[in-house]
Chain A
Amino acid sequence: MDKKQMELLQGTLDMLILKAVSLGPLHGYGILLRIQQISRDRLEIQQGSLYPALYRLEHQGWIASEWGESENKRKAKYYRLTAAGRRKLQTEAEKWNRMAEVIAGILQSTPEEV
């Protein structure tokens, strides 16, 4: 974990959480691990800000929670994506891709193109 990490862009944590749980129900710590794993540890996630985000998403109805048993037989709260959450993830992803494309286009532009 002492590799060079990037700080998370404002407002992207929600999307990453949705993505993480879209692959199957996870508990909070699991979500953290999943994001780190997918990002190959290149993203730095404030663990403290993970849970408020989870509560917010749950309230908005994009994820739902349920108490279950963890791999090592302990009680843990599992989050899963709801149908609304799936749609939300899709639109957010599209938005993000368009935005990234536009920004990249701007940044790659040469003086001649302007």
Chain B
Amino acid sequence: MEREMDAELRFHLEAFTEDLVRGGMARQEALRRARLEFGGIERAKEECREARAVDFIDGLLQDLRFGLRMLGKTPGFTAVATLTLALGIGANTAVFSVVNSVLLKPLNYPKAEELVALHQVAPGAAGLADFENGLLLSPSMYFTYAEQNHTFQSLGVWVTGTANVTGVAEPEQVRTVEVSDGVLQTLSVPPEIGRWLSPADQVPGGPERVMLSYGYWQRRFGGDRSAVGRNLTVDSRPRQIVGVLPPGFRLVDAEFDVIVPLAFDRGKLILAGFGYQGIARMNPGVTLAEADADLTRMLPIWMDSWSNGPGSDPHVYEAWRITPKIRPLKREVLGNVSDVLWVVMGTIGLVMLIACANVANLLLVKGEARQQEMAVRAALGAGRGRIVRGLLVESLMLGLMGGTLGVAFANSGVRLLLAMGPANLPRLSEISLDARALGFIVLLSLVSGLLFGLFPALKYSGSRPSLNLGSAGRSLSSSRESHRARSVLAVGQVAMALMLLVSAGLMIRTFRALRRVEPGFTDAEHLQVLRISIPDSLVNEPERVTRIQNEIVQNLAAVPGVRSAGFISKMPMEGFDAPWDAIYARDKVYSDGAIPPLRLFKYASPDFFRTAGTRIVAGRGLTWAEVYGLRPVVMVSENLAREMWGTPSAAIGKQLTEFRSMPWYEVIGVVEDVRENGVQEKPPETVYWPSLMDKLYGPGNQLGAVRTVTFVIRSERAGTEGFLNEMRQAVWSVNSSLPLASVRTMQEVYDRSVARTSFTLVMLGIAGAMALVLGIIGIYGVISYSVSQRRREFGIRVALGARPGNVLKMVLRQGAKMAVAGVVVGFGGAFALTRLMTSLLFGVAARDPATFVAVPVLLILVALLACYLPARRAMKVDPIVALRYE
């Protein structure tokens, strides 16, 4: 444009000059004169440009009006295209808003980028596979780290738990977070009212104080500001409320009702006690590596400053090779959910591409019908750019219409995701359709509009007027080129559908593999679980605690419809940590200084294994007489028995102990392995102790009973409301101030533990189904259109003696070719995509041959089915009609 203008003005000046020269003027003088008379050339150019800019905007408006008219003229096409796009855009935006809220936005704390989780690993500690999740901090470690570090502004440890709140109405079990000094300071979120827990509140034996969550404050005190300063009876002890945290505040990923100070007694701490999560706020400018180095430097100081009791070697932990691996707090909160979300985002993005391909295909078909219009426009002097722009404006409008409708879909999509997303999805409450998500919609609409619009626009704008004015009315055969374009799109769709279906197939196989795993309990639907805690402030004597638990079991077992009942310190998959330690067998030799492999410790009642359906593979179970008689008997898991003594039966009669001053406990039974941390995790080697023991939790303790246990009840009535009431009565007839917490069936516990897998499965299933449908529509569209274009050809063939069967085969072959090409291309993509999914798979390889064979076969069959309808139409073409058609 600019060049044309220059050329035009130059021509003017030159012609003028020549005229002057012809009139007798010297060339040099003529040139000067011409310039002078013309006036400001640059100004003229500028004015020309302005005239043209007006032209551009005007043209755009014209295009918009024209586009709207064209879209209105083909309401069917417009509706289908808009709906397809709206679905794609809606689904993508819904998933994006989850990704945005969960993965992209910073955590809800001031300067969240400084926050870290004090994660550490101990590759040298044998046993207990659980250390993959990190070695937690011990209280003594906390003191060393807090006092000796050079890289943190503040640092603290915390642990979740439960407590009984009594005194008003029904007793209630609340979720607690116990925090050391430094935790609230690290998170830096000011209280809604009142104040934080202060260092003075962390003094053991001092006044006991608590903070409340906003939700609990609302629920329990109706948001009354005078609650601060009042007392709350927590675990039968009055504690003063000093403050309330703001709404939405979570302690890392923990939701809680009450914050309780840990109040460590410094004088009694030992090296061990690795049970606390550490968080810290780094000094500005400190890197993770520097902070790691700082902790590494302090580990020897820690070992020198504390001990595990007289005569123990504090440097045994050197063998554990404790290695700090500090992580950004955000990563800690998100865990491995980011894998799931990115895979879901990727697959839903593919669906969008397929949707775009479909719309592009529709546009191509429509473009075919508009060849004549394009030719007329070109003949009337419209430049190629102008025609491309017109077509693009049309498709961008389509995209925006899809986007507008997509907002509604996205909105319900987000709600759907929230409803079916894994309940343990972190930051679930923060998910919403925000400005960024809306920006995403606009961007996606425009990009997709360009994507599906550019292809047909470039294709048809190049039409030669002379060619098409003459021939557009006829469709002897559709131009080879445009048909190829549509076939390429259909092949792409099949390829993407294959990728998604293979992923979905792998998830189905994963889910089935998970279902096949024996978790270590049976018939989870009819297994009721609930947790009851008996604090020492309520019942002090350990034996009395066990007797109360025993009575509760008897009362529960007497409820109509109950087959048996029992209790254990922790059911599998309950989502919190069980204690662990090393054990020594009497018939083995141990070198001094080394800590043997660590084992999970659980404490089970007689009847527990029968109730839960955990098979006893050798020996026998425990009796109440043995419990009360403090008989040194113990049970172990099958994998522990095999590891130590070769076979389960060889373990019977063997003796083991936890530490020197503890008597030898005789193994009386071996039970099947239990998938403690979820069905996809390896079952840990486990020791099942009686729940009432001398020196329960260590050498320094006397007789102790496990005070917080999960009761399990086997009944057909599990989970019903009436049953729940009867159980409550059964418990309260023993002691009326015992709250029942976490009342669930084992099925719910199980479902929750596989929630991530089922969520991924459902999402991939939806994406796969959408892809399949869109892909099939794509193939159907191409074949169907090509059949309608080739009616004449088929008519001639039939007239020349081709049998209908031949025509059918011809059309099917065309479809099969596209499907096979799509499958071949899709194979490569599927290989790449499924590799990314490895961490989500279980019991099936990322390149599972069965899936990689079954899905393509299925896809080709469905594609052939989609071709069958148009093929039948082709077969039935009446030669006379077809020939007369044109």
Contacts and interface: CB of A to CB of B under 8 A. Distances in A.
Nearest to A57: B51
A51 B9 contact: yes
A47 B38 contact: yes
Contacts of B8: 27-28, 51, 76-77
A13 interface: no
A49 B44 contact: yes
Interface in B488-531: none
Interface size class of A (residues with CB under 8 A): 20 to 34
Of the listed residues A51, A64, A70, A76, the one surrounded by the most CB atoms of chain B closer than 10 A to its CB is A51
The 4 A-B residue pairs whose C-beta atoms are closest, nearest first, are A48-B39, A52-B47, A55-B51, A48-B44
Of the listed residues B48, B51, B54, the one surrounded by the most CB atoms of chain A closer than 10 A to its CB is B51
B11 A52 contact: no
Contacts of B55: 55, 59
B38 A70 contact: no
A27 B9 CA distance: 10
Given A47-B12, A72-B18, A52 B50 contact: yes
Of the listed residues B12, B47, B52, the one surrounded by the most CB atoms of chain A closer than 10 A to its CB is B12
Interface of B: 4-5, 7-9, 11-12, 14-16, 18, 37-41, 43-44, 47-48, 50-52, 54-55, 58, 381
B9 to A, nearest CB: 7
Q: Is the interface of B mostly helix, strand, loop or mixed?
A: helix
Contacts of B5: 51
Contacts of A64: 381
B16 A29 contact: yes
Contacts of B54: 56, 59
B40 to A, nearest CB: 6
A28 B12 CA distance: 7
Contact of B52 (A28, A47, A55): A55
A74 interface: yes
A26 to B, nearest CB: 12
Of the listed residues B38, B40, B50, the one surrounded by the most CB atoms of chain A closer than 10 A to its CB is B38
Contacts of A51: 5, 8-9, 12, 44, 47-48
A76 B11 contact: yes
B48 A47 contact: no
B40 A48 contact: yes
A3 interface: no
A56 B51 contact: yes
B52 A75 contact: no
B52 A29 contact: no
Given A49-B44, A56-B54, A75-B11, 5 more contacts: A27-B15, A47-B38, A51-B9, A72-B18, A77-B4
A49 B40 CA distance: 10
Of the listed residues B9, B15, B18, B39, the one surrounded by the most CB atoms of chain A closer than 10 A to its CB is B15
A64 B380 CA distance: 10
Contacts of B14: 74
Interface string A73-88: 0111100000000000
Contacts of B381: 64
Interface in A26-70: 27-29, 32, 46-49, 51-52, 55-56, 59, 64, 70
27 contacts: A27-B12, A32-B12, A47-B12, A47-B37, A47-B38, A47-B44, A48-B40, A48-B41, A48-B44, A49-B39, A49-B44, A51-B5, A51-B9, A51-B44, A52-B47, A52-B51, A55-B52, A56-B54, A59-B54, A70-B15, A72-B15, A72-B18, A74-B11, A75-B11, A76-B15, A77-B7, A77-B11
A75 B8 CA distance: 9
Nearest to A46: B39
Nearest to A74: B11
A55 B44 contact: no
A59 B59 CA distance: 9
